[in-house]
Amino acid sequence: MAFSLHLVAGGLLIFTIYSAVQWLVRCRRRQIMKRQHGCLPPKKLAQVDPFLGTDVVMQNLGAAKQYGFLNLLKSRHAANGLTFTTNTYFRTTINTCDPTLIQNVLSFQFQDFGMGPLRRKSASPLLGRGIFTTDDEVWSHQRALIRPSFVRAQVTDFSIFGHHVDQLIALIGRQNYKVDLQQLFFRMVLDSNSEYMFGESVGLMSENASESATTFHHALDYAQQGTILRLRLGNLMFTHRDKKFRDSCATVHAYADKFVAQALEYRRSQASLPEEKRNLDDGTRQKYVFLNELAKDTDDPILLRDQIVNMLLAARDTTAGLLAFVFFMLARRPEVFAKLREDVLEHYCEPLTYEAIMDMKYLRYVLHETLRLFPPIATNSRMANKDTVLPVGGGPDGKSPMFVAKHNVVTYSTFVMHRRKEFFGEDADEFRPERWENLRPGWEFLPFNGGPRICPGQKFALTESSYTIARLLHAFSGMENMDPTDWREQLTLSLTLNNGVQCRLIPS
């Protein structure tokens, strides 16, 4: 017995000495690295609790409840500069709105940063091992799988979009033209994108939407809210105990599993046919189905489900959120509505074509200005997977090299960056589409991310949004704002409006 105790004690002593030596070696190596690169420490946010950062976490959660998290970030940057650090529960976070630093993290030093285990853990109940939670070879493989699905031929085919916009216009009429457009946009985009991805629409826009479709829609929303809460909790994620969240994730997965099974059956049926008869139905080529194309490259049902949930969620929220913010601003700026409608009608044709939409310059300005003020992903982050040095961010002015330790998180806010006056003028907080007549920004305008992980579906989202806006401005000659309040943020995995778009549309 005594020998066993001595053995355990000896083992603990050896482990302690080994750990101490490793720590000293690591500290020494980091000091050399900092000195070689001339690194200076970044500014620090003043914290009441400098170790656990409880005050920062509570401030973040409180601001989010009051729809003011993004304005809190903006005020912190105004007080502390482009780059500063916070410490929460023994985790260092580097907060930045510096485009040079962001470019290095997302592009030049892409291999030094990844999603990180905390982000994977927070999002995995809903997103699994999809493209938005994975790194390295797994991510590269998934990116290669989905890239062919966004070629120009698919993106510019309006046959699916057209049908669902028809349904949207009809539904607005059935509601006597007084509607919350944001709710309708989310339903319409989910319908159109599910048809593109699954081959079958969820059917939320129909007069008799099925109970399963409505349940899926609500489950998707609730699962998103739970995911963003887990992200905000960070290392306190273990305190998140919400059965409804788990049930919502299961509902989303079960709904997607049904279509995955159909895609795998399609794969098997195609494999049994001669090459010349594949993808043909009675001599006519079948419509493009995103999931069927994915199933050609893998028969792993979990991988297919995770991919389709990731893509469906991203496609729905990006497009619907962009449309909602466009019409939120148009309802408050009748002169912009009139100018945009004039541009649309000048180039409009039946049926509406991709070429006609590309000729609508003011429409493009409106979209860019909306994306500038209300970027879909208002904040994002990467975790350092090794000790590294960024060329900026250090020192009192944020212009010196900055050392980033392994497991430090870099959080960047496009919302704050897009409103910087040195890039977009003294009226950077104002909605003025005309600024895009001569504006040619670089990394300071980042609505769809950048570098190797740039959004593969950005053209799809912009085309779908442009088509929908053009069709609505052709169908309606004006709109009246029914909500006197300012916008209130709703931050889930993307930025939307908590107060929706309450308006009355005037038919042409």
Q: How far apart are CA 303 and CA 459, in angstroms?
A: 24
Residue 350: how many other CB atoms lie within 10 Å: 7
Please give the helix or strand (H or E) that residue 505 lies within, else none.
strand 502-507
Lowest mean pLDDT among 231-240, 273-282, 342-351, 367-376: 273-282
| H helix intervals, 128-242 | 136-146, 152-155, 159-174, 181-198, 211-233
Question: Cβ atoms within 10 A of the Cβ of 437, count?
Answer: 9
Angle formed at CA 239 by CA 237 and CA 243, multiple of 5 degrees: 100
Most confident of 187-201, 335-349, 456-470: 335-349
Find the mean pLDDT for residues 113-134: 88
pLDDT-above-90 percentage for the chain:
63
Amino acid at 462: L
Residue whose tokens read 């409106």:
366
One-letter amino acid identity for 409? Answer: V
Look at 197-201, 274-278, 406-410, 466-470 and tell me which has the smallest mean pLDDT: 274-278
Confidence of residue 283 (pLDDT cuts 50, 70, 90): very low
Q: Higher confidence at residue 286 or residue 80?
A: 80
In this prediction, residue 320 carries a pLDDT of 95
Q: Looking at 35-82, which runs of residues are DSSP E strands?
A: 43-44
Q: In the beta sheet, which residues pair with residue 505?
A: 479
Distances (CA, A) of 112 to 137, 139, 310, 383, 421: 14, 15, 24, 8, 31
- Mean pLDDT value of segment 305-320: 89
Whats the size of the chain, residue-wise?
508
HEC secondary structure over 360-397: CHHHHHHHHHHHHHCCCCCEEEEEECCCEEEEEEECCC
pLDDT band, very low/low/confident/very high, at 463 (cuts 50, 70, 90): very high
Give yes or no for a contact between 100 and 281, defined as CB atoms under 8 angstroms apart.
no
Q: Reply yes or no on whether the pLDDT at 284 is more than 50.
A: no
Q: Report d(CA 316, CA 380) in Å as an integer.
A: 18
pLDDT per position as a tens digit, 488-502: 999 887 899 999 999
Q: Which residue has the higher pLDDT, 337 or 15?
A: 337
Pairing verdict, β 83-88 and 113-114: unpaired
Residue-wise pLDDT tens digits, 389-420: 999 999 999 999 999 999 999 999 999 999 99
pTM over 0.85: yes
**Mean of the per-residue pLDDT values of the chain:** 90
Are 360 and 344 in contact by the 8 Å Cβ rule? The answer is yes
Report how far residue 73's alpha carbon sits from residue 75's, in angstroms, rounded to the nearest whole number: 5
- pLDDT over 70 (residue 209): yes
Tell me the pLDDT band of 276, cut-offs 50, 70 and 90. low
Residue 269 confidence class, pLDDT cut points 50, 70, 90:
confident
Stated as kind and residue range, the H or E segment containing 100 is helix 99-103
Q: What is the pLDDT of residue 76?
A: 97
Question: In angstroms, rounded to a whole number, what is the distance separating the alpha carbons of residues 318 and 448?
Answer: 9
How confident is the model at residue 6, as a pLDDT? 67
- C-alpha to C-alpha distance for 204 and 164, rounded to whole angstroms: 10
SS (H, E, C) 12-39: HHHHHHHHHHHHHHHHHHHHHHHHHHCC
Please tell me the predicted confidence (pLDDT) of residue 277.
61
Whether the pLDDT of residue 74 is over 90: the answer is yes
Distance of CA 63 to the CA centre of its chain: 20
* pLDDT beyond 90 at 368: yes
